[in-house]
Amino acid sequence: MTTTIRQCTSDDARLIRSLGMTTFRDTFAADNSQENMEDYLRHSFSPELVKSKLSEPESVFLLASVDGTPAAYMQLNTGKAQTEQFGDTSMEIERLYVLSDFKHRGLGTLLVNQAFKRARTQNLNKIWLGVWEHNEPAQRFYQAMGFKRTGEHTFTLGEELQTDWIMTAAVS
């Protein structure tokens, strides 16, 4: 198994949109209404929004491929691109999505390690993220990567307000 990681460009918008919609649906559809899911996917993964986020100077998308097949991606935000303002010394992992066929192969670990590497290079001192309060597998993964629950915020899925845990990790 050969795994490669590369930085995405706006030319990858269709691929990122497809990966994002597929993984979000696979992960959360069973626990949410179809109407709320479709509303969220339509807005959060619109072609225009995805292309815009890929062009944002303070956001970076990293794509992991296994034997040439796109398998996962991560969106990192710094500065004003962060969805919550944690300051100029923080980095947000806004999305870390792994296709179900590629889970438990270490792709998430590889991508999060890339986030830490980039944060160190940029002299940042904290990485943070939001994870749904009911997504226990993701919570366990992030805890194993050194993240701790430090707060919560509201995540809007369609017309439903949900609670995300804020998890942070120090960059050393």
Give catalytic residues, as residue numbers: 142
Looking at residue 134, the DSSP 8-state letter turns out to be T
Relative to beta strand 3-7, strand 59-66 is antiparallel
In this structure, what is the dihedral angle of CA atoms 96, 12, 76, 171, given to the nearest 10 degrees?
A: 80
In angstroms, the CA 37 to CA 51 distance is 21
Q: What is the DSSP secondary structure assignment for residue 49, as one 8-state letter?
A: H
The conformation of residue 82, written as its DSSP 8-state character, comes to S
